Amino acid sequence: MFFDQNSKWKSVINTVQFYHSVGQPILIGTSSIQTSELVSKLLRESTINHYVLNAKFFEQEANIVSNGGQLSSVIVATNMAGRGTDIKLEK
């Protein structure tokens, strides 16, 4: 449990940093466009390259999602973004 939103998001970013450093593909689900943009801002501040799927650039979503299983990829997705697209995991 977290006492506030700042603690929660700091923990999320720390967890992402760890798994990103070992090459794990990461998908972060959010419930709103505003939250996905907040997470994106925090990832940028931590210099973690990532993609955001939040219906603003729906033309690119299928391509981004289909490559989401690549080593060290990080995707922030608002609920329902990229639906209907398979994610192929690298070995």
CB 69 within 8 A of CB 89: yes
CB 56 within 8 A of CB 33: yes
Return the DSSP state at 34. H
- CA 89 from centre of chain: 15
| 90 domain-assigned | no
Domain count, the chain: 1
At 41-66, the pLDDT tens digits run 999 999 999 998 876 666 677 777 77
Domain ranges, residue 36? 5-78
Instruction: Answer yes or no: is pLDDT of 12 > 70.
Output: yes
Alpha-helical runs (H) found in the chain: 5-21, 33-45, 58-66
Q: Which residues of 59-86 are buried (b: 16+ CB within 10 A; e: fewer)?
A: eebeebbebbbeeebbbbbbeebbeeee
At 48 the pLDDT is: 96
| 88 domain-assigned | no
